[in-house]
Amino acid sequence: MFTKARLKLTVWYLFIIMAVSISFSVVIYVGSTREFTRVLRIEDYRLQHPQSIQQNVQLPVWDQDIPLPVIPNPALIQATKTRVAEGLFLINLMILFFSSFAGYFLAGRTLRPIKEMVDEQNRFITDASHELNTPLTSLKTAIEVNLRDKNFTIEKAKKLMASNLEDVNSLQVLSDELIKLNQYQRLNGNMSISKLLLQKILNQALEKVNAQAKNKKIKILINLPRVNLIGNEKSLTELFVILLDNAVKYSKQGKTVKVSAKKYDSKIQITVEDQGIGIAKEDLPFIFDRFYRAEKSRTKNDYQGYGLGLSIAKRIVTLHNGTISVESETNKGTKFTILLNTA
Ligand code: ADP
């Protein structure tokens, strides 16, 4: 698809370049041959009127000013015209040759960002359909198996419905995350931005993860300086919900999660640190990739998720012109560090 578009664009570039070049050549041809004829006629005039040179008589400037019959050698004029035409033809041929390469190269460069965007969208659709397919297949299989059961009782139906509901909930989580990721990917810095108190953002995020932390008897300690950020309230709250939710999800009962911050000039460095299962070295470079789940969380059923949270988090940080990084040690804990602009 893109090779065809690239060739078409190259042809359009060539058409424009050649149209300009040929127009210029015509102007040059007409102008130079006319000038040459004029000079020849002046020369002839001077030869026929030698007194005009001696008396320093003003020579005629225009063709029309030269009295007839001053007719320069027609064969000489024709030969010069042919030579000029050949020269211009050669120049145009060279322009055509070089602009074909340049046009093809430029067409490639013009189309590259569009190609990358389309490739990215295709990858997104493939990944999303793959992830959607797994819970849907399990839902379908459970229903089919139970439908074939001749001793299907109300009790069994209730159990089936409860399990179906779990699958549906999980599908809803996936679809919500996909929508969020897509929304943030489409935003190009055009979010509503205001001055926000960091503590307020973290309190809002805490409200959303408190229940889960209480369930696992996990303490969340927050120690922040009073500082204002410049950013979008909803997305920054979402960022800390993702990090706190992961910190709680990937920690064993009774552990502690710490959130702290340090101010540097116009920046604030915020860390979210847990004492959880950690991330293996080989997984670390990929954890911000869409749908990536570290081996440990993929194999264990108690850590549910789709590997979208951290890609959303990274996108939010990027939209705020900030950075996010991670340090981790297996079975010791994980520390996420975020650098954001202060107000
Ligand atoms: P998920 O929904 O799987 O948690 P994320 O994108 O939030 O998706 O995280 C990607 C992967 O990174 C997780 O599957 C997990 O393996 C790892 N991870 C993220 N945060 C932590 C953490 N605090 N401790 C341990 N592993 C983590």
Q: Which atom of ligand 1 is nearest to the CA of 292?
A: 10
**What's the CA gap between 242 and 239, in Å, rounded?**
5
pLDDT score at 68: 47
Side-chain-side CA neighbours of 5 within 13 Å: the count stands at 10
The sign of the CA dihedral 121, 123, 128, 130 is positive
pLDDT score at 88: 95
CA 277 to chain CA centroid, nearest Å? 33
Task: Ligand 1 pocket test: pick from 127, 218, 243, 246 the residue with the most ligand atoms within 8 Å of its Cβ.
Answer: 246
Residue nearest (by alpha carbon) to ligand 1 atom 2: 305
Element (H, E) at 141: helix 74-148
What would the pLDDT profile of 157-188 be if each residue is shown by its tens digit?
Answer: 999 999 899 889 989 999 999 999 888 888 77
How many angstroms is it from 246 CA to the middle of ligand 1?
A: 6
Task: Ligand 1 pocket test: pick from 134, 289, 310, 325 the residue with the most ligand atoms within 8 Å of its Cβ.
Answer: 310
Nearest to 268 by CA among 216, 233, 231, 218: 231
Which residues does a 6 A CB cutoff place in the pocket of ligand 1? Answer: 246-247, 250, 274, 276-279, 287, 292-294, 297, 305-310, 334
Extract the tokens encoding 81.
């015209």
Task: Ligand 1 pocket test: pick from 250, 252, 324 the residue with the most ligand atoms within 8 Å of its Cβ.
Answer: 250
194-341, what's its fold?
Answer: Heat Shock Protein 90 (3.30.565)
Extract the tokens encoding 307.
């590997």
Q: Which atom of ligand 1 is nearest to the CA of 336?
A: 23
Say if CB 142 and CB 160 are below 8 A apart: yes
Say if CB 290 and CB 130 are below 8 A apart: no
CA 90 to chain CA centroid, nearest Å? 43
**What's the CA gap between 118 and 116, in Å, rounded?**
6
How many angstroms is it from 198 CA to the middle of ligand 1?
A: 24
pLDDT score at 46: 72
How many angstroms is it from 227 CA to the middle of ligand 1?
A: 28
- Counting as low any pLDDT under 70, the low residues of the chain are 51-72, 189, 296-301
Domain ranges of the chain: 2-119, 131-187, 194-341
Q: Which atom of ligand 1 is nearest to the CA of 298?
A: 14
